[in-house]
Amino acid sequence: MNKKVLYHGSVKIIKTPVFGYGRSDNDYGRGFYCTEDIELAREWAALDENGGFVNQYELDTSGLNCLDLTDGKCTELSWMAILLANRVVRLSSPVEKRARTFITENFLPDTSDADIIIGHRADDSYFSFARAFLSNTITLQQLSTALSLGDLGRQIMLKSERAFNALLYKKSEPVNGAVYYPKRMMRDKHARDQYMALLEKEDETGLYISDIMKKGGL
């Protein structure tokens, strides 16, 4: 058996995640989002100083189809294509709209058979990097660097009913919001500072989305 220990931060104890429940406009669509990093899960649970709970599970991945957007076979454009296909994004310029169409038409992975999707998190602070790339402000190489050097962590999304059935609840622990809410805010601030520093740098050799569209691909 191949087993993973997963954590889910929440304001409540979740012993039995419900398949088909949740928002469809999350990063990778409707599913149950977890992490292998317990500290990250504790931050997810601390929406404010009231804190919450970190729920621990064991996932048997035997026989499950996994789409790993971080395994080197996919590019950052595959990750971005999934985000653009699921999240509600207000695009303010023609180049952003054209870029979204180009990326989703050319780089969107087939997720129909995926039981699990693994990839970078894209909360609002980190989605700023994706928006900057869409608007032709940063290059693909800068985007890749920001994602690989950032501390946003990986998320594991259980997508199919098979994946939900392979998940075993282990335990839940309370999260001290007075400790982990400031950590959550500090991670967000670090992301925003990193974003502003990135905007100040010019990449003279990297590929902007306009370059990629002109070439018709990578």
pLDDT confidence of 125, banded at 50, 70, 90?
low
Q: What is the mean pLDDT of the chain?
A: 90
Check pLDDT > 60 for residue 185: yes
**What is the rounded CA–CA span in Å between residue 114 and residue 163?**
9
Structural domains in the chain (count): 1
Domain with 155, as residue range(s), is 3-215
| Residues ≥6 apart with Cβ < 8 Å to 62 | 1, 2, 166
| Residues ≥6 apart with Cβ < 8 Å to 212 | 77, 102, 140, 218
Instruction: Tell me the pLDDT tens digit for each residue of 190-215.
Output: 877 877 887 788 888 889 999 999 98
Taking residues 62-88, what's their average pLDDT? 90
Indicate the pTM of the whole model: 0.89
The closest alpha carbon to 109, from 76, 133, 78, belongs to 78
Tell me which of 74-88, 91-105, 125-139 is least confident: 125-139
pLDDT confidence of 189, banded at 50, 70, 90?
confident
